[in-house]
Amino acid sequence: MLNNDKYNQMVEEKYYTIEEIAKILKVAYLTVYRWIQDGKLVAYKAGKQYRIKKSDLEKFVERKKRK
C-alpha cells in the first residue's frame, strides 16, 4: 500500500499521452512510440495506452539538448 506522501506525489504529477508528446515536440506519433520501445523515453502502460510523466519528458528533452 502506498503511503500518503507517495500517493499525493503520484496524483500531482502531470502525465501525457503519446499524442500529446508528439504534438508538444512536433514529431510523429510513431517517433514517440519508437522512443518508448527503444527505452529512450520512459513511459508507463495504463491498460492499452502509454502515459509519460512530465518529469520524464523533461529529462528526455534535456538529454537530447546535450547531444
Any domain includes 35: yes
Any domain includes 8: no
Q: How many domains does the chain have?
A: 1
Any domain includes 17: yes
Any domain includes 5: no
Beta bridge partners, 58, equal none
**What is the CATH number for 39?**
1.10.1660.10
pLDDT in tens, 38-58: 999 999 998 999 999 999 999
Q: Model-level pTM greater than 0.75?
A: yes
pLDDT in tens, 17-30: 999 999 999 999 99
- Measured in whole angstroms, how far is the alpha carbon of residue 51 from the centre of its chain? 6
pLDDT at 66: 75
The more confidently predicted of residues 7 and 13 is 13
Any domain includes 48: yes
The more confidently predicted of residues 3 and 33 is 33
Any domain includes 60: yes
Alpha helices in 1-67 (DSSP H): 4-12, 18-25, 29-37, 54-66
Q: Structural domain of residue 60, as residue ranges?
A: 13-66
Reduced to 3 states (helix: H, G, I; strand: E, B; else coil), residue 40 is coil
pLDDT at 65: 85
